[in-house]
Amino acid sequence: MSSIGHILPIPALIHSPIVQLLITYILVALASICAQLFNPAEIALIGDLVPEEQRTQATGMSGIAGNLAYIVGPPLASLLFVGFGVHWAILINALSFLASFLAILLIRAPQAARSSEPEQQPNFFREFFAGIHFSFNNRILRTLILSGMVFMFGAGVINTLYYFFLAQNLHASTLFYGFLVSAPGIGGVIGAALGGKYAHRIGEAKVLGLSSVLWGIVVITLALQANIIPATILACLIGILNAGIGVVVAPLLLHATPRELVGRAFATLSPCVSLASICSIFVTGYLSSTVLHALHINLSGFSLNSISIFFVAAGVLTLLSGIYILVNLRGVRLADEVSPTQEDAVADVVKESIDA
């Protein structure tokens, strides 16, 4: 080993900027892969542990925790980075995952559901395509997928141009960027609390549709702003509506999906909305920096630059998707109590989907 160390400068190679960057990208990719495994498992576990009439409240509590972390995390990370250095900040972050792992070990989860009939041998491709077939032939799941893609496309537009909106449209100092970023997180806590308490009474499908319609209206209004104060208030409202949407998606998915297919239904939904978000970032970044960079439109006394136009387009698309949800999911309501008849119907759907 000592001779190898003389031949190959291993320490110097490891500490080179390119290798360090490559390692960082690999670790981020692995963390993203683990998240894709964790998220459907979390939803399935909520479905197993929480009765249907309480699932919206459960996802609301999860939303509150997530948005609190979104608010507290960045300033806490800055304090750790400045006070202790990057290594301690990353170590404490890793220990938080260890604490999460230990907490999950304390959960007494029911036995995992079989994804195939007892007499059948498991087959990945058959079960994978059965999940896709079920998702796109189920009215509720198909609506969630299509509307989710439209919403994430619009959200990708906002996220891509958020900083430039502050600098060019609001003419505000970059010092205020933190307020504009934290506003949706504060709104998210409020929205998750309100959604967890009232969404089931109103109806999850109705809350999803109305939240999408209002999200579109608020984003269109935000596009017309030229002052940081009303823009921050509108950003807080966007956070409330984001949470309203997030609180009801998982209960609707669990309501429409047999336990055996929850993982595959989520595995169909998640890549679709992620693809829409990626496409949105690419399209927005390209068009706003090239073809539409110098575009200005005067409309009823409002001067719209390319950023405003993108915001308006995102708002209109999401508003239309909200109308689509309200029409397509009209009458859909989560049961206050799951009856034996519903359990038998679920079993029939599982068998048909697996045989398809």
> In the 8-state DSSP scheme, what is residue 122?
P
- Does some domain include residue 315? yes
Question: Is residue 10 in a domain?
Answer: no
Strands 302-305 and 296-299: antiparallel
pLDDT at residue 222 in the model: 93
* Model pLDDT, residue 117: 54
| pLDDT over 90 at 295, yes or no | no
Task: Supply 54's token pair.
Answer: 């309480």
Q: Of 27-31, 113-117, 220-224, 309-313, where does mean pLDDT reach its minimum?
A: 113-117
Instruction: Read off the pLDDT band of 190 (50, 70, 90).
Output: very high
Decide if pLDDT at 317 tops 80.
yes
Tens of pLDDT, residue by residue over 48-60, are: 788 888 888 888 8
Q: What angle do CA 289, 149, 207 make, to 5 degrees?
A: 120
What pLDDT, on the 0 to 100 scale, is given for residue 112? 59
- 263: domain CATH number is 1.20.1250.20
* Structural domain count, the chain: 1
The yes-or-no verdict on residue 350 having pLDDT over 60 is no
* Better pLDDT: 292 or 251: 251
Within-domain flag for 120: no
Average pLDDT over residues 339-345: 45
Q: Across all residues in the chain, what is the average pLDDT?
A: 81
State what percent of residues in the chain have pLDDT above 90. Answer: 25
Domain annotation covers residue 80? no
Res 7: pLDDT: 47
Residue 88 confidence (pLDDT): 82
- Residue 313's pLDDT is what? 93
Question: How confident is the model at residue 353, as a pLDDT?
Answer: 40
- Confidence class of residue 343 from pLDDT cuts 50, 70 and 90? very low
Return the number of other C-beta atoms located less than 10 Å from residue 349's C-beta: 17
Ranking 67-71, 253-257, 329-333 by mean pLDDT, the lowest is 67-71
Q: Flag whether 73 is in a domain.
A: no
**pLDDT tens-digit series, residues 143-164:** 999 999 999 999 999 989 988 8
Q: Which residues pair with 304 in a beta bridge?
A: 297
**Could you tell me the residue range of the domain that residue 29 belongs to?**
17-64+131-355
Q: How confident is the model at residue 265 (pLDDT cuts 50, 70, 90)?
A: confident
pLDDT attached to residue 356: 45
Residue 298 lies in a domain: yes
Q: Is residue 246 part of a domain?
A: yes
Instruction: Quote the pLDDT of residue 328.
Output: 93
* 326, pLDDT greater than 70: yes
Question: Which among 182, 321, 183, 311 is positioned nearest to 245, based on CA atoms?
Answer: 321
Identify the pLDDT of residue 13. 58
Lowest-confidence segment of 208-217, 314-323, 338-347 by average pLDDT: 338-347
Q: pLDDT tens digits, residue range 201-254?
A: 899 999 999 999 999 999 999 999 888 889 999 999 999 999 999 899 989 998
Q: What's the predicted TM-score (pTM) here? A: 0.77
DSSP secondary structure letters along 51-74: -GGGHHHHHHHHHHHHHHHHHHHH
Q: Write the CB contacts of 116 (distance below 8 Å, at least 6 apart in sequence).
A: 122, 123, 127, 354
**Residue of 196, 217, 174 whose CA lies nearest to 314:** 217
Domain membership of residue 232 (yes or no) is: yes
- Tell me which DSSP letter residue 356 carries: -
